[in-house]
């Protein structure tokens, strides 16, 4: 599945492929964002996270098939960059850059909602963070660091 923000209308879009060549079943939601969404699979469900257009609140929603989305959860945390999302063991992790301070933040959920246990790291960035699980460990990469190498 691929997810993106539409040109002009800023709506969340999804499209699926079974072979990476042929893409179909485009779905356009009414939800909008200035930043690209994050996708991951957790507990056999597809999760998407995005920054809401207008108020910058973080949102998370899930789908069993990529066509029908449900259980939208709006967090009280905000960002001016897109969020990061990944499955890590028995938790779904959400990371983002804080508004006004650029600190990296991470929260987790055991079932997709609600998120809790917010941790503010002592690191800052001016870009969207990325989460990746490797060998059972969580690693965080920052776009600005990747561009400097």
Question: Distance between CA atoms of 27 and 101, rounded to whole angstroms?
Answer: 35
3-state SS record for 83-112: CEEEEECCEEEEEEECCCCCEEEEEEECCC
Per DSSP, 45 falls in state: E
Banded model confidence at residue 34, pLDDT cuts 50, 70, 90: very high
- Those residues whose C-beta lies under 8 Å from the C-beta of residue 38, and which sit 6 or more positions away, are 48, 49, 50, 82, 83, 84, 85
Question: Distance between CA atoms of 71 and 115, rounded to whole angstroms?
Answer: 13
Whether 113 has a pLDDT exceeding 90, the answer reads no
Question: Distance between CA atoms of 106 and 95, rounded to whole angstroms?
Answer: 4
Is the pLDDT higher at 137 or at 54?
Answer: 54
Predicted pLDDT of residue 125? 95
For the record, the structure tokens of 91 come out as 């938790």
Mean pLDDT on 130-137: 77
- Residue whose entry in the numeric block shows the structure tokens 């079932």: 111
For the record, the structure tokens of 37 come out as 């969404």
Whether 136 has a pLDDT exceeding 80, the answer reads no
The strands making up 23-32's β-sheet, listed across from edge to edge, are 2-5, 11-17, 23-32
Question: Distance between CA atoms of 143 and 135, rounded to whole angstroms?
Answer: 21
Predicted structure pTM score: 0.88
Q: How confident is the model over 37-88, as pLDDT tens digits? A: 999 999 999 999 999 999 999 999 999 999 999 999 999 999 999 999 999 9
Question: Distance between CA atoms of 93 and 139, rounded to whole angstroms?
Answer: 11
């Amino acid at each position: 599945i691929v997810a993106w923000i539409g040109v002009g209308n800023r709506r969340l879009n999804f499209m699926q492929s079974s072979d990476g060549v042929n893409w179909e079943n485009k779905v356009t939601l009414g939800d909008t964002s200035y930043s690209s969404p994050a996708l991951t699979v957790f507990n056999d469900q597809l999760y998407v996270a995005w920054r809401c257009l207008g108020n910058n609140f973080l949102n998370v929603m899930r789908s069993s098939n990529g066509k029908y989305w449900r259980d939208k959860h709006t967090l009280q945390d905000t960002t001016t960059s897109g969020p990061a999302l990944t499955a890590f063991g028995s938790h779904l992790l959400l990371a983002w850059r804080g508004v006004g301070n650029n600190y990296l933040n991470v929260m987790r959920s055991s079932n997709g909602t609600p998120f809790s246990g917010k941790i503010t790291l002592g690191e800052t960035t001016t870009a969207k963070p990325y989460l990746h699980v490797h060998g059972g460990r969580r690693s965080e990469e920052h776009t600005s660091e990747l561009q400097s190498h």
